[in-house]
Amino acid sequence: MKYLEELHQTLQTYIRPTSFPVAVKLQEDNELPEDIRRPSKVFGHPLTICQGIAIARRYGWTIGFLKEDHACGPSMPSFGLVEEPDFIKDGSIVYPLYTKTLEAGAKTQSAMPALKVGTANSIILSPLHKANFEPDVVLIYGNPAQVVRLIQGSLYNSGGVLESRSMGRAACTSEIVSTFVEQKCNVTIPGGGEKAFALTGDDEIVFSVPKKEIPNLIEGIVSTHKEGASRFPTPLFGLRSQPIFPEKYDKLQEYCDVK
């Protein structure tokens, strides 16, 4: 898949992420190839999706999830593994951990994106450069300076503004589900769960791109880099400023015949 290789090379050249971008595949199949590592088999227990993402981007492993491999109950209705139960619709899973009132909790819970049941019976997470499948979403972790370059690249053809989704919890649903459902690029600030379980750094945010937007992103990153206004690493103008030294240095400058 030439476009995946092109995306990988573009990111390595112009964005230089410190961890591997992650290709995500959502499948209706209830089976995974035997050669794909599954948490319940490799580790003997389930993991959260954010842990799986971290393993793919840090270890370079391709890892797969079936229903029994998921450890995070709050994310399972969002990924369409089960219907959302009535006993969490009232906000009781959110309040009082994240909201002042039960009603506010219900509002937060209702904002959770969700796939149709059966859409993601199996999920494959792979480092982008190892992916042998067409990804539905690609996740790119970076610092603000790197992610702003991705935002600029994503808007190069369309213009406008990139609207991000973050609720401080269940970040995987914003990163993957929202991006897949809306078919738009997205920026997510990881929540406490991803930091606690997946060891996501305090300086990391996540840029998500759906498959159909990958060509636009590639063109935008390269083109905005060539224009020179924004690049990574940031071209700090201070490096080109005339140095100012204490007056005591002036005599030495004169001695060296340098003005």
Count other Cβ atoms within 10 Å, centred on residue 71: 18
* Domain-located, residue 10: yes
Query: What pTM value is reported for the model?
Result: 0.93
DSSP for 246-257 reads: -GGGHHHHHHTT
* Domain-located, residue 245: no
Is the Cβ–Cβ distance between 143 and 204 less than 8 Å? Answer: yes
pLDDT at 258 over 90: no
Q: If you ran DSSP here, which 8-state letter would residue 70 be given?
A: B
What amino acid occupies position 99? Answer: T
* Domain-located, residue 26: yes
Give per-residue pLDDT as tens, 62-120. Answer: 999 999 999 999 999 999 999 999 999 999 999 999 999 999 999 999 999 999 999 99
Element (H, E) at 140: strand 137-142
Give per-residue pLDDT as tens, 202-229. Answer: 999 999 999 999 999 999 999 999 998 7
Domain count, the chain: 1
* Domain-located, residue 16: yes
Range of the domain at 31: 2-235
Instruction: For residue 84, give Cα distances in angstroms to 28, 32, 92, 143.
Output: 18, 25, 13, 34
Give per-residue pLDDT as tens, 169-187. Answer: 999 999 999 999 999 999 9
What residues form DSSP beta bridges with 24? 125, 137
The dihedral sign for the CA sequence 208, 211, 212, 218 = positive
CA atoms lying within 13 Å on the CB side of residue 221:
23
CA pair distance 74, 180, nearest whole angstrom: 18
* Domain-located, residue 253: no
What amino acid occupies position 215? Answer: P
Angle, vertex CA 234, rays to CA 203 and CA 165, nearest 5: 45
* Domain-located, residue 252: no
Element (H, E) at 218: helix 214-227
* Domain-located, residue 55: yes
* Domain-located, residue 256: no
